[in-house]
Amino acid sequence: MTNPSLLILAGDGIGPEVMAEVRKIIDWYGAKRGVTFDVSEDLVGGCAYDKHGTPLHDDTMAKAQEVDAVLLGAVGGPKYDSLDFSVKPERGLLRLRKEMDLYANLRPAQCFDALADFSSLKKDVVAGLDIMIVRELTSGVYFGEPRGIFKEGNERVGINTQRYTESEIERVARSAFELARKRGNKLCSMEKANVMESGVLWREVVQRIGDTEYPDVELSHMYADAGAMQLTRWPKQFDVIVTDNLFGDLLSDLAAMLTGSLGMLPSASLGAPMANGRPKALYEPVHGSAPDIAGQGKANPIACILSFAMALRYSFDMGAEADRVEGAVAKVLADGLRTADLMGPEGGAPVSTGQMGDAIVTALDASL
């Protein structure tokens, strides 16, 4: 049997630092569990632009199409803010999502017990929280045409287009229903059917898929603005949420803060199954490149490490090993280890990125 293959695209800012900690976990699997990954590395984002004049080289794109899973750190930084839109670091990430056709973006928001005090919401609102946002990732206003800045009379007009086909809604709805079945069996779909035709179609299609294929899953619909309000009021009413690309971008940042820190949250972006049965997949932390703290050993590697855990679960069918990594993270947090982003107003001494990674490896050892 061939080893599972991973392409690591560490990217910019804190990307390489947090990815170095994931490498420790990958190495641990080789040394202690006999699971060896074939790891290759390449560039994405600003660092790719610096070297090749494009945020994603065609060769890198081709490699991403071949591997079992891509692990991405983060892209972007102030250095690239004034670049033309077509070569901005973010375009590299968007090209990967689009060309790999990664239509279902899974963004769990889970509150670790040890961090329940850390949320800006009351403890009883967030303690034990475990929800999953499924964000459509390859369509909607992020990609719809026409788009651009055009001249109209004597002024300019900026245009983007929200567009969803029935089949695009169907496939992401199925992903969300399948997940709901494996969890609390409850799905809430969010759009703005009160204002947008794309929302009317979204609601209709999700309801039809529910009625015909998943009658056992409890389905509800909410306008996305009300959904945002309900997410802060009583987030535990939700299990799985399915929503479009832009609403999903916003709602997943909101859900992230319920758990205390963006530095904690992983994501998986999944497409259709490949010939080997594994879904096309890219795993990345929800946080960005955090240029303000890059290179200082302050970054929290947990989101990236938990993204690798999601790869174990969704690409490699190693759910028990994913549980093991998640358990190791819970253990170090329960032991009181905190990176700088997890320090409350009362302060204390944070551990470095590397110390957090080492502690998680030690906890993995202890789990054997």
| Residues contributing to the site for ligand IPM (CB under 6 A) | 90, 93-94, 249
The answer to whether the CB of 145 falls within 8 A of the CB of 173 is: no
| Residue closer to ligand IPM, measured from CB, 193 or 286 | 286
| Residue closer to Mg ion, measured from CB, 244 or 249 | 249
Q: Is 101 a catalytic residue?
A: no
Shortest distance, position 137 Cβ to ligand IPM, whole Å: 8
Alpha-carbon distance values, 273 to 69, 225, 276 (Å): 12, 33, 8
Q: What does 268 interact with, of Mg ion, ligand IPM, none (CB < 5 to 8 A by kind)? A: none
Q: Is 225 a catalytic residue?
A: yes
Shortest distance, position 54 Cβ to ligand IPM, whole Å: 16
Q: What is the dihedral of CA 234, 235, 239, 243, to 10 degrees?
A: 120
Alpha-carbon distance values, 83 to 31, 50, 53, 74, 307 (Å): 43, 12, 11, 18, 29
Token digits for 279?
Answer: 């879904």
| Residue closer to Mg ion, measured from CB, 239 or 249 | 249
Query: In whole angstroms, what is the distance from residue 193 CA to residue 176 CA?
Result: 19
The answer to whether the CB of 6 falls within 8 A of the CB of 68 is: yes
Q: What does 93 interact with, of Mg ion, ligand IPM, none (CB < 5 to 8 A by kind)? A: ligand IPM
Between β-strands 155-161 and 144-152, what pairing exists: parallel, antiparallel or unpaired?
A: antiparallel
Point out the catalytic residue in the list 27, 130, 253, 323. 253
Point out the catalytic residue in the list 80, 142, 164, 214. 142
| Residue closer to ligand IPM, measured from CB, 135 or 203 | 135
Query: Within 239-268, which residues bind Mg ion (CB under 5 A)?
Result: 249
Q: What does 134 interact with, of Mg ion, ligand IPM, none (CB < 5 to 8 A by kind)? A: none
Shortest distance, position 248 Cβ to ligand IPM, whole Å: 8
Instruction: Report the candidate in 195, 194, 197, 220 with the shortest Cα–Cα distance to residue 207.
Output: 220
Q: Is 192 a catalytic residue?
A: yes
The answer to whether the CB of 288 falls within 8 A of the CB of 73 is: no
| Residue closer to ligand IPM, measured from CB, 90 or 213 | 90
Shortest distance, position 184 Cβ to ligand IPM, whole Å: 24
Alpha-carbon distance values, 322 to 119, 268, 333 (Å): 25, 13, 17
Q: What is the dihedral of CA 114, 266, 198, 206, to 10 degrees?
A: -70
Q: What does 90 interact with, of Mg ion, ligand IPM, none (CB < 5 to 8 A by kind)? A: ligand IPM
| Residue closer to ligand IPM, measured from CB, 73 or 210 | 73
Q: Is 249 a catalytic residue?
A: yes
Q: Is 58 a catalytic residue?
A: no
Q: What does 225 interact with, of Mg ion, ligand IPM, none (CB < 5 to 8 A by kind)? A: none
Query: In whole angstroms, what is the distance from residue 140 CA to residue 252 CA?
Result: 16
Point out the catalytic residue in the list 192, 280, 298, 331. 192
Point out the catalytic residue in the list 68, 249, 280, 314. 249
- The residue whose two tokens read 């990430």 is 93
The answer to whether the CB of 349 falls within 8 A of the CB of 309 is: no
Write the binding mask 304 to 323 for Mg ion: x where contact by CB under 5 A, - elsewhere. Answer: --------------------
Point out the catalytic residue in the list 225, 236, 323, 358. 225
Strand order in the sheet with 186-191: 38-42, 5-11, 69-74, 279-285, 266-273, 104-110, 130-136, 240-243, 186-191, 218-223
Shortest distance, position 261 Cβ to ligand IPM, whole Å: 15
Q: What does 72 interact with, of Mg ion, ligand IPM, none (CB < 5 to 8 A by kind)? A: none
Shortest distance, position 253 Cβ to ligand IPM, whole Å: 7
Query: In whole angstroms, what is the distance from residue 118 CA to residue 113 CA?
Result: 10
Asked if residue 136 binds Mg ion (CB under 5 A), the reply is no
Shortest distance, position 106 Cβ to ligand IPM, whole Å: 12
Q: What does 9 interact with, of ligand IPM, Mg ion, none (CB < 5 to 8 A by kind)? A: none
Listed in sequence order, the DSSP H helices in the chain are 15-33, 46-52, 58-66, 89-99, 123-126, 166-182, 197-213, 224-233, 245-258, 302-314, 319-334, 353-366
| Residue closer to ligand IPM, measured from CB, 87 or 94 | 94
Binding site residues, Mg ion, CB under 5 A: 249
Q: What amino acid positions are annotated as catalytic residues?
A: 142, 192, 225, 249, 253
